[in-house]
Amino acid sequence: MNPNSPVEVMDAEAHHMAAIQSIYSHYVLNDLCSFEEEPPTAIEMLSRRAEVLRLGLPYLVAMADGRVVGYAYADAYRSRPAYRHTVENSIYVAPGQQGRGVGRALLETLLARCAAGGFSQMVVIVGNSTNAGSIRLHESLGFERVGVLRQVGFKFGQWVDTVLMQRSLRDLAGK
C-alpha cells in the first residue's frame, strides 16, 4: 500500500467489521494498549458496534487504497445516567499504517461528530503509561492528562498503568 495515498474517514459498515476485528486482535494479542486478553469474535465486534450506534455515537473507519487502515468509536464513559454527556474513545490503527496521520484523521472526525451530537466531554483511558503514540495524538488534539492509575492492569506478566486524559467538546459545538 502506498504510504502517501489519501486517507478517508467514514462511518463503519457491517462489512468492515472483519478487518476491524483483525486490527483489534493484533493489539489484544501483542500490546498493552488493550486490557482484553482474548480477541473478541467478529460477531461480538458487530454487537459492540450496534450498541455504540444505539447510543447515537459514531463508529468510524479509515480507508486508504480501498483497505481498512484504522477505526475509532465513542462509547458511554460509564453507564450511570449522570455520565450521559461524557463519552470515551477508542482508536486503533492497523499495524504498519501508524505515524502517517490515520489516528489524527479518525480522532478529528470523532471529536467533531461527538460535539455535533451534543456530548460535552470526551475521555480516553490510555492503556500503558509508556504509550507515547496515543498520549501524543491526544495531546495534539487538545486532551489534557488528568491522572495516572498505577498498576490497575496485569497483562503479559506485568503490572500496567492507565493514563486518564480528557477534552471538553464545548469549543467544537456548532462548528
Ligand X SMILES: CC(C)(COP(=O)(O)OP(=O)(O)OC[C@H]1O[C@@H](n2cnc3c(N)ncnc32)[C@H](O)[C@@H]1OP(=O)(O)O)[C@@H](O)C(=O)NCCC(=O)NCCS
Smallest distance, ligand X to C-beta of residue 105, A: 7
Pattern 81-110, ligand X, x by CB under 6 A: ----------xxx----xxxxxxx------
Smallest distance, ligand X to C-beta of residue 172, A: 17
Distance of CA 119 to the CA centre of its chain: 16
Q: Give the residue nearest to ligand X (CB).
A: 103
- Pair 91, 12: CB distance under 8 Å: no
Looking only at residues 146 through 165 of this chain, which bind ligand X when binding is defined by CB under 6 A? Answer: none
Tell me how far apart the alpha carbons of residues 159 and 124 are, in angstroms, rounded to a whole number: 19
Smallest distance, ligand X to C-beta of residue 74, A: 13
Tell me how far apart the alpha carbons of residues 87 and 76 are, in angstroms, rounded to a whole number: 5
> Cβ closer to ligand X: 132 or 149?
132
Tell me how far apart the alpha carbons of residues 120 and 161 are, in angstroms, rounded to a whole number: 26
C-alpha dist (Å) from residue 39 to 30, 49, 88, 144: 11, 15, 20, 30
Name the pairing type of β-strands 121-127 and 86-93: parallel
Answer yes or no whether residue 25 interacts with ligand X by CB under 6 A. Answer: no
Residue 163: exposed, middle, or buried by beta-carbon count in 10 A (0-12, 13-18, 19+)? buried
Answer yes or no whether residue 9 interacts with ligand X by CB under 6 A. Answer: no
**For ligand X, which residue of 134, 143, 160, 169 counts as binding (CB under 6 A)?**
134
Looking only at residues 32 through 91 of this chain, which bind ligand X when binding is defined by CB under 6 A? Answer: 33, 91
> Cβ closer to ligand X: 141 or 173?
141
User: How many residues form the binding site for ligand X (CB under 6 A)?
Assistant: 22
Smallest distance, ligand X to C-beta of residue 137, A: 4
By CB under 6 A, name the binding residues for ligand X: 27, 33, 91-93, 98-104, 124, 126-127, 131-134, 136-137, 140
